[in-house]
């Protein structure tokens, strides 16, 4: 167990046996995260931002300008050059610091392999260390795969339907521990001496993405979509 969320670093084995390296996001990752977002399919980009033309530079800055307290993020990389293939981030709500809004992106070529679940589980553990008890997200109703990612994480989930959107709450506080470690679709390994091997990225089922919700989330999406 990492002693602080900023020190969280591990290799995760996905459903197909391939390995990704998971570590905290940092400002220097912004160009690579922007490449990740630029490489998303039109459908994945729509499911993530609720917009066909988001401002990717703004989104990349949000993902990487972190302080490991109010805002925190994780990136997943493959290959010797550390290509970023996934990101999960959160931002604490200013008026309710025990809650945070969460966003998630996975490269299309890595979808359907458990990477989204692995990132969300690690983000939940880090958030718990920060004293956060609930992760919130907005998910489009047709994005059933993303809803399953929240359920696969093993923590109690509440989903409330609103016109055009599903409001998801992941209960991660001390009283809401995961049902079973087996519910986490990715197995964690201790950090090895070098970067994980890059495995062939077979296309899986469309995963889609969650976006940050609430007043600040809507403001961010508005800025991104300009």
pLDDT of residue 83: 96
Both tokens of 54, joined, read 């988001």
Q: Supply the pLDDT for residue 179.
A: 59
pLDDT value for 211: 55
Query: At 116, which CATH number?
Result: 3.40.630.30
Distances (CA, A) of 49 to 40, 155, 167: 11, 25, 15
Coil, helix or strand at residue 108: helix
Number of domains in the chain: 1
pLDDT at 54: 86
The gap between the terminal CA atoms of the chain, to the nearest Å, is 41
Q: Could you tell me where the beta strands, DSSP code E, fall in 146-208?
A: 157-162, 165-171, 187-189
pTM for the model stands at 0.78
Alpha helices, DSSP H only, in 27-82? 30-38, 42-49, 56-64
pLDDT of residue 80: 83
Cα 27 from Cα 75, distance rounded (Å): 12
Question: What are the CA-CA distances from residue 178 to residues 80, 110, 125, 126, 186 (Å)?
Answer: 33, 24, 10, 14, 14
Task: Give the model's pLDDT for residue 197.
Answer: 29
The stretches in the chain having pLDDT less than 50 are 1-2, 181-208, 214-226
pLDDT of residue 7: 87
Note down the domain range covering 172.
Answer: 5-225
């Amino acid at each position: 167990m990492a002693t602080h969320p900023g020190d969280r670093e591990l290799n995760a084995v996905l459903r197909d046996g391939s390995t990704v390296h998971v570590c905290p996001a940092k400002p220097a990752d912004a160009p690579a995260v922007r490449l990740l977002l630029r490489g998303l399919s039109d459908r994945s980009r729509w499911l993530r931002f609720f917009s066909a033309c988001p401002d990717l530079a703004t989104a990349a800055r949000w993902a990487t300008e972190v302080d490991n307290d109010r805002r925190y993020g994780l990136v997943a990389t493959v290959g010797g050059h550390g290509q970023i293939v996934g990101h999960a981030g959160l931002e604490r709500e200013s008026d309710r610091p025990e809650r945070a809004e969460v966003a998630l992106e996975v490269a299309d070529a890595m979808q359907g392999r458990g990477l989204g679940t692995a990132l969300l589980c690690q983000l939940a553990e880090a958030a718990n260390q920060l004293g956060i008890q609930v992760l919130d997200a907005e998910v489009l109703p047709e994005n059933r795969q993303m809803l399953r990612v929240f359920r696969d994480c093993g923590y109690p989930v509440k989903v409330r339907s609103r016109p055009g959107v599903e409001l998801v709450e992941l209960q991660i506080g001390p009283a809401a521990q995961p049902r079973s470690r087996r519910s986490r679709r990715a197995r964690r390994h201790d950090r090895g001496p070098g970067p994980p091997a890059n495995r062939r990225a077979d296309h899986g089922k469309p995963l889609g993405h969650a976006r940050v919700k609430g007043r600040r989330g809507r403001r961010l999406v508005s800025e991104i979509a300009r």
